[in-house]
Amino acid sequence: MHIPDGFISAPVATVGCVVAGGSVAYAVKATKKKMGEKQIPLMGVLAAFIFAAQMLNFPIAGGTSGHFVGAALAAILLGPWRGILIMTCVLVVQCLVFQDGGLFALGVNILNMGIIASFVAYHIYRGSALFGEGRKRKLIGGGLAAWFSVAIASVACAFELAISGTVPLKIALPAMAGIHALIGIGEGLITAAVLNLIMATRADLLELQKA
Protein backbone atom coordinates (compact mmCIF):
# COMPACT_ATOMS: atom_id res chain seq x y z
CA MET A 1 0.00 0.00 0.00
CA HIS A 2 3.05 2.27 -0.33
CA ILE A 3 1.91 5.24 -2.43
CA PRO A 4 4.52 6.40 -4.97
CA ASP A 5 4.90 10.06 -5.92
CA GLY A 6 2.43 11.09 -8.60
CA PHE A 7 -0.60 9.17 -7.31
CA ILE A 8 -1.61 11.94 -4.90
CA SER A 9 -1.93 15.68 -5.44
CA ALA A 10 0.26 18.33 -3.81
CA PRO A 11 -2.47 19.43 -1.34
CA VAL A 12 -3.13 15.83 -0.21
CA ALA A 13 0.62 15.21 0.14
CA THR A 14 0.99 18.43 2.15
CA VAL A 15 -1.84 17.55 4.53
CA GLY A 16 -0.26 14.12 4.97
CA CYS A 17 3.13 15.63 5.85
CA VAL A 18 1.59 18.07 8.35
CA VAL A 19 -0.51 15.39 10.07
CA ALA A 20 2.38 12.90 10.12
CA GLY A 21 4.86 15.52 11.36
CA GLY A 22 2.53 16.65 14.13
CA SER A 23 1.70 13.10 15.19
CA VAL A 24 5.34 12.00 15.30
CA ALA A 25 6.24 15.10 17.34
CA TYR A 26 3.42 14.34 19.77
CA ALA A 27 4.41 10.65 19.89
CA VAL A 28 7.95 11.67 20.90
CA LYS A 29 6.56 13.88 23.65
CA ALA A 30 4.02 11.31 24.87
CA THR A 31 6.40 8.35 25.02
CA LYS A 32 9.66 9.78 26.32
CA LYS A 33 8.53 9.90 29.97
CA LYS A 34 7.33 6.30 29.81
CA MET A 35 10.20 4.60 28.08
CA GLY A 36 11.23 1.63 30.21
CA GLU A 37 14.37 -0.49 29.91
CA LYS A 38 12.42 -3.37 28.32
CA GLN A 39 10.82 -1.19 25.65
CA ILE A 40 14.15 -0.17 24.13
CA PRO A 41 15.18 -3.49 22.57
CA LEU A 42 11.53 -4.27 21.79
CA MET A 43 11.22 -1.07 19.71
CA GLY A 44 14.33 -2.07 17.76
CA VAL A 45 13.42 -5.71 17.12
CA LEU A 46 9.78 -4.90 16.31
CA ALA A 47 10.91 -2.39 13.69
CA ALA A 48 13.39 -4.93 12.31
CA PHE A 49 10.79 -7.73 12.25
CA ILE A 50 8.21 -5.49 10.56
CA PHE A 51 10.70 -4.40 7.88
CA ALA A 52 11.76 -7.98 7.12
CA ALA A 53 8.21 -9.35 7.19
CA GLN A 54 7.04 -6.56 4.85
CA MET A 55 9.47 -7.87 2.21
CA LEU A 56 7.71 -11.24 2.16
CA ASN A 57 4.81 -10.59 -0.19
CA PHE A 58 2.32 -13.45 -0.13
CA PRO A 59 0.11 -14.26 -3.15
CA ILE A 60 -3.61 -13.55 -2.95
CA ALA A 61 -6.27 -14.01 -5.64
CA GLY A 62 -5.71 -13.09 -9.29
CA GLY A 63 -1.98 -12.46 -9.72
CA THR A 64 -1.91 -9.99 -6.85
CA SER A 65 0.19 -10.08 -3.71
CA GLY A 66 -0.09 -8.53 -0.30
CA HIS A 67 2.33 -7.99 2.52
CA PHE A 68 2.25 -7.64 6.28
CA VAL A 69 2.00 -4.04 7.54
CA GLY A 70 2.75 -4.59 11.23
CA ALA A 71 1.19 -1.48 12.77
CA ALA A 72 -1.36 -3.62 14.61
CA LEU A 73 1.33 -5.80 16.18
CA ALA A 74 3.37 -2.74 17.21
CA ALA A 75 0.33 -0.91 18.66
CA ILE A 76 -0.90 -3.99 20.55
CA LEU A 77 2.51 -4.59 22.10
CA LEU A 78 3.64 -1.02 22.78
CA GLY A 79 0.60 1.24 22.44
CA PRO A 80 -0.42 3.45 19.50
CA TRP A 81 2.14 6.25 19.98
CA ARG A 82 5.16 3.97 20.11
CA GLY A 83 3.51 2.03 17.25
CA ILE A 84 3.52 5.21 15.18
CA LEU A 85 7.22 5.77 15.93
CA ILE A 86 8.10 2.19 14.94
CA MET A 87 6.13 2.42 11.68
CA THR A 88 7.70 5.80 10.92
CA CYS A 89 11.22 4.27 11.27
CA VAL A 90 10.26 1.49 8.84
CA LEU A 91 8.52 3.76 6.32
CA VAL A 92 11.30 6.39 6.31
CA VAL A 93 13.98 3.74 5.61
CA GLN A 94 11.80 2.13 2.92
CA CYS A 95 11.30 5.53 1.29
CA LEU A 96 14.84 6.92 1.51
CA VAL A 97 16.91 3.74 1.07
CA PHE A 98 14.69 1.43 -0.97
CA GLN A 99 12.57 3.92 -2.99
CA ASP A 100 9.42 2.14 -1.77
CA GLY A 101 6.82 4.86 -1.33
CA GLY A 102 7.36 8.37 -2.71
CA LEU A 103 9.25 11.13 -0.92
CA PHE A 104 6.34 13.60 -1.18
CA ALA A 105 3.93 10.78 -0.34
CA LEU A 106 5.87 9.83 2.82
CA GLY A 107 3.52 11.80 5.08
CA VAL A 108 0.44 10.14 3.60
CA ASN A 109 2.05 6.69 3.86
CA ILE A 110 2.86 7.36 7.55
CA LEU A 111 -0.73 8.56 8.00
CA ASN A 112 -2.24 5.37 6.47
CA MET A 113 0.10 2.59 7.59
CA GLY A 114 1.37 4.26 10.77
CA ILE A 115 -1.20 6.51 12.39
CA ILE A 116 -4.55 5.18 11.14
CA ALA A 117 -3.51 1.52 11.26
CA SER A 118 -2.02 1.85 14.78
CA PHE A 119 -5.03 3.61 16.28
CA VAL A 120 -7.64 1.39 14.63
CA ALA A 121 -5.84 -1.75 15.79
CA TYR A 122 -5.15 -0.49 19.30
CA HIS A 123 -8.75 0.48 20.01
CA ILE A 124 -10.25 -2.68 18.55
CA TYR A 125 -7.80 -4.77 20.56
CA ARG A 126 -8.53 -2.87 23.77
CA GLY A 127 -12.27 -3.02 23.02
CA SER A 128 -12.10 -6.79 22.66
CA ALA A 129 -11.11 -6.94 26.34
CA LEU A 130 -14.80 -6.40 27.09
CA PHE A 131 -15.33 -10.02 26.03
CA GLY A 132 -12.92 -11.47 28.55
CA GLU A 133 -9.22 -11.62 29.27
CA GLY A 134 -8.22 -15.12 28.18
CA ARG A 135 -5.59 -16.20 25.71
CA LYS A 136 -8.17 -17.01 23.02
CA ARG A 137 -9.74 -13.57 23.36
CA LYS A 138 -6.35 -11.90 22.94
CA LEU A 139 -5.59 -13.89 19.79
CA ILE A 140 -9.01 -13.28 18.21
CA GLY A 141 -8.99 -9.62 19.30
CA GLY A 142 -5.47 -9.18 17.91
CA GLY A 143 -6.33 -10.86 14.62
CA LEU A 144 -9.49 -8.78 14.17
CA ALA A 145 -7.64 -5.60 15.12
CA ALA A 146 -5.01 -6.40 12.47
CA TRP A 147 -7.64 -7.09 9.79
CA PHE A 148 -9.39 -3.78 10.47
CA SER A 149 -6.09 -1.87 10.53
CA VAL A 150 -5.35 -2.93 6.93
CA ALA A 151 -8.95 -2.55 5.74
CA ILE A 152 -9.39 0.97 7.17
CA ALA A 153 -5.94 2.07 5.97
CA SER A 154 -6.87 0.95 2.44
CA VAL A 155 -10.15 2.91 2.64
CA ALA A 156 -8.15 5.99 3.67
CA CYS A 157 -5.82 5.39 0.71
CA ALA A 158 -8.84 5.17 -1.65
CA PHE A 159 -10.13 8.53 -0.38
CA GLU A 160 -6.68 10.13 -0.83
CA LEU A 161 -6.47 8.87 -4.43
CA ALA A 162 -10.01 10.11 -5.12
CA ILE A 163 -9.48 13.56 -3.54
CA SER A 164 -6.30 13.85 -5.61
CA GLY A 165 -8.37 13.29 -8.76
CA THR A 166 -6.33 10.20 -9.70
CA VAL A 167 -9.25 7.77 -9.78
CA PRO A 168 -12.95 8.25 -8.91
CA LEU A 169 -14.01 7.16 -5.41
CA LYS A 170 -16.67 4.79 -6.73
CA ILE A 171 -13.88 2.85 -8.48
CA ALA A 172 -11.10 3.24 -5.90
CA LEU A 173 -13.13 2.43 -2.79
CA PRO A 174 -14.52 -1.02 -3.70
CA ALA A 175 -11.27 -2.01 -5.42
CA MET A 176 -8.99 -1.03 -2.52
CA ALA A 177 -11.31 -2.31 0.21
CA GLY A 178 -11.96 -5.56 -1.67
CA ILE A 179 -8.32 -6.50 -2.22
CA HIS A 180 -7.26 -5.39 1.26
CA ALA A 181 -10.08 -7.34 2.89
CA LEU A 182 -8.16 -10.38 1.56
CA ILE A 183 -4.69 -9.04 2.41
CA GLY A 184 -6.03 -8.22 5.90
CA ILE A 185 -6.63 -11.94 6.53
CA GLY A 186 -2.88 -12.48 6.15
CA GLU A 187 -2.25 -9.55 8.49
CA GLY A 188 -4.64 -11.03 11.05
CA LEU A 189 -3.09 -14.51 10.89
CA ILE A 190 0.51 -13.24 11.16
CA THR A 191 -0.38 -10.89 14.03
CA ALA A 192 -2.19 -13.65 15.95
CA ALA A 193 0.69 -16.08 15.33
CA VAL A 194 3.28 -13.63 16.69
CA LEU A 195 1.06 -12.80 19.70
CA ASN A 196 0.66 -16.53 20.34
CA LEU A 197 4.43 -17.02 20.25
CA ILE A 198 4.95 -14.10 22.64
CA MET A 199 2.28 -15.40 25.05
CA ALA A 200 3.96 -18.79 25.09
CA THR A 201 7.46 -17.44 25.69
CA ARG A 202 7.36 -13.91 27.15
CA ALA A 203 3.81 -13.12 28.27
CA ASP A 204 5.09 -10.11 30.27
CA LEU A 205 5.81 -8.26 27.01
CA LEU A 206 2.05 -8.05 26.41
CA GLU A 207 1.67 -5.81 29.45
CA LEU A 208 4.06 -3.11 28.21
CA GLN A 209 1.49 -1.10 26.23
CA LYS A 210 -0.21 -0.08 29.49
CA ALA A 211 2.90 1.79 30.60
Partner 1 sequence: MRFKWWHGALIFALFLAVLSPLASSSPDGLERIAEDKGFMETAREAFFEAIPDYMVPGIKSEAVATILAGLIGTLLVFAIGYSLARLLKAKGEA
Residues of the shown chain interacting with partner 1 in the complex, contacts defined by CB under 8 A:
1-7, 28, 31-37, 39-53, 55-60, 62-67, 85-86, 89-90, 92-94, 96-100, 102-103, 154, 157, 161, 166-167, 171-172, 175-176, 179-180, 183, 201-202
When the beta carbons of 42 and 116 are compared against partner 1, the nearer one is 42
Amino acid at the residue 188: G
When the beta carbons of 3 and 121 are compared against partner 1, the nearer one is 3
134: CB partners within 8 A, 6+ apart: none
Torsion sign over Cα 46, 82, 143, 3 = negative
CB of 209 to partner 1, least distance (A): 14
When the beta carbons of 34 and 135 are compared against partner 1, the nearer one is 34
Q: Which of 206, 182, 208 is nearest to 194 (CA)?
A: 206
DSSP-based three-state secondary structure for 57: coil
d(CA 160, CA 169): 9
CB of 16 to partner 1, least distance (A): 15
CB of 41 to partner 1, least distance (A): 4
When the beta carbons of 128 and 164 are compared against partner 1, the nearer one is 164
d(CA 146, CA 179): 15
Q: State the DSSP H helix or E strand holding residue 20, giving kind and residue range, or none if neither.
A: helix 10-32
When the beta carbons of 9 and 140 are compared against partner 1, the nearer one is 9
d(CA 145, CA 153): 12
CB of 130 to partner 1, least distance (A): 30
185: CB partners within 8 A, 6+ apart: 147
- 175 within 8 A of 154, measured Cβ to Cβ: no
d(CA 42, CA 159): 34
CB of 39 to partner 1, least distance (A): 6
When the beta carbons of 65 and 132 are compared against partner 1, the nearer one is 65
CB of 85 to partner 1, least distance (A): 6
